[in-house]
Amino acid sequence: MSETLMWLTGGAAAYLAGSVPFGFLLAKSRGADIRTLGSGNIGATNVFRSVSKPLGILTFALDVAKGYCGVKLIPPLAVWIVGGTCESMALPLFCGAMTVAGHNWTCFLGFRGGKGIAASAGMLLALAPAGVGIAFAVWVAVFLAARYVSAASITAAVTLGAAAWPLYCARHGTWFSGALTLLAALAVWKHRSNIARLRAGTESRFDFGKKKDRPTP
């Protein structure tokens, strides 16, 4: 019973932590509703493009931090609240996944959230740093070559899903590598609208220049 309660406590706390919509809140501090600007997404890229570069960078950092905390802080907190022990990777992975789920389907914005790339990066940085390093190198290469954030994110997700098997299967088991692959597949699925725009040639390239003045909301 205590183990079940520990998982329920950790999952609920991780979901609520992940649901904090930092991009929405930071844009709101500038009087903007990020859901009505640009792509309508609450993530860092849209905040960077549509509201403010510094706020976009801060959104990214906070989203990464909540994914990381979902793995490193919430599981031991749940164990401390309920009592008992948890020495496997299962609870941290579950709490990290629930943090990403909270980000993607936040209860504070009608269960519509971001695409989960930054939150997933923070979660995976805590769980699988070597895989994240490889995926990040791929992200940078694709981004610099094409200047599409979406294409870089999709390629990095696929890379991580593939790299999880040789890197972690022997150490943590098939279930762990399979879970990382499923999370990578979720990230790709959340980019399905971007994939459609990439195929149609209408996806926006990242502009390093001066941001155009946004219309007053």
Please indicate, yes or no, if residue 46 is contained in any of the structural domains: yes
* 180 and 151 within one domain: yes
Range of the domain at 27: 1-110
The confidence score (pLDDT) of residue 212 equals 47
* 157 and 92 within one domain: no
Q: Regarding predicted confidence, which is higher, 19 or 210? A: 19
The confidence score (pLDDT) of residue 88 equals 80
The confidence score (pLDDT) of residue 204 equals 87
The confidence score (pLDDT) of residue 42 equals 95
Instruction: State yes or no: pLDDT of 216 exceeds 60.
Output: no
Please indicate, yes or no, if residue 121 is contained in any of the structural domains: no
* 142 and 68 within one domain: no
The confidence score (pLDDT) of residue 89 equals 87
* 186 and 160 within one domain: yes
Please indicate, yes or no, if residue 90 is contained in any of the structural domains: yes
The confidence score (pLDDT) of residue 185 equals 95
Token pair 């200047």 in the structure block, residue: 147
Q: pLDDT (tens digit, 9 = 90+) per residue, 80-118?
A: 988 877 778 899 999 999 999 999 999 999 999 999 999
Last residue of a domain, one of 110, 145, 179: 110
* 133 and 85 within one domain: no
* 153 and 91 within one domain: no
* 146 and 46 within one domain: no
* 133 and 104 within one domain: no
Last residue of a domain, one of 56, 84, 110: 110
* 162 and 101 within one domain: no
Please indicate, yes or no, if residue 115 is contained in any of the structural domains: no
> Mean per-residue pLDDT for 69-90?
88
pLDDT confidence band for 1 (50 / 70 / 90): low
Please indicate, yes or no, if residue 6 is contained in any of the structural domains: yes
**Residue 27 one-letter amino acid:** A
Please indicate, yes or no, if residue 27 is contained in any of the structural domains: yes
Cα 67 to Cα 31: distance, rounded to the nearest angstrom: 27
Number of domains in the chain: 2
Instruction: State yes or no: pLDDT of 207 exceeds 80.
Output: no
> Mean per-residue pLDDT for 66-77?
95
Q: What is the mean pLDDT of the chain?
A: 91
Please indicate, yes or no, if residue 138 is contained in any of the structural domains: yes
In this prediction the pTM is 0.84
> Mean per-residue pLDDT for 120-149?
95
For residues 51 and 34, the answer to whether their CB atoms sit within 8 Å is yes
The residues, ordered by sequence, that sit 6+ positions from 57 with a Cβ below 8 Å of its Cβ are 44, 48
Please indicate, yes or no, if residue 28 is contained in any of the structural domains: yes
For residues 157 and 149, the answer to whether their CB atoms sit within 8 Å is no
Last residue of a domain, one of 56, 83, 110: 110
* 106 and 175 within one domain: no
The confidence score (pLDDT) of residue 217 equals 39
* 106 and 1 within one domain: yes
Instruction: State yes or no: pLDDT of 208 exceeds 80.
Output: no
* 86 and 14 within one domain: yes
Cα 136 to Cα 12: distance, rounded to the nearest angstrom: 29
Token pair 């930071």 in the structure block, residue: 26
The confidence score (pLDDT) of residue 101 equals 95
Q: pLDDT (tens digit, 9 = 90+) per residue, 169-203?
A: 999 999 999 999 999 999 999 999 999 999 999 99
- Per-residue b/e over 76-105, b at no fewer than 16 CB within 10 Å? ebbbeebeeebeebbbbbbbbbbbbbbbbb
Instruction: State yes or no: pLDDT of 9 exceeds 60.
Output: yes
- In the chain, the percentage of residues whose pLDDT exceeds 70 is 95
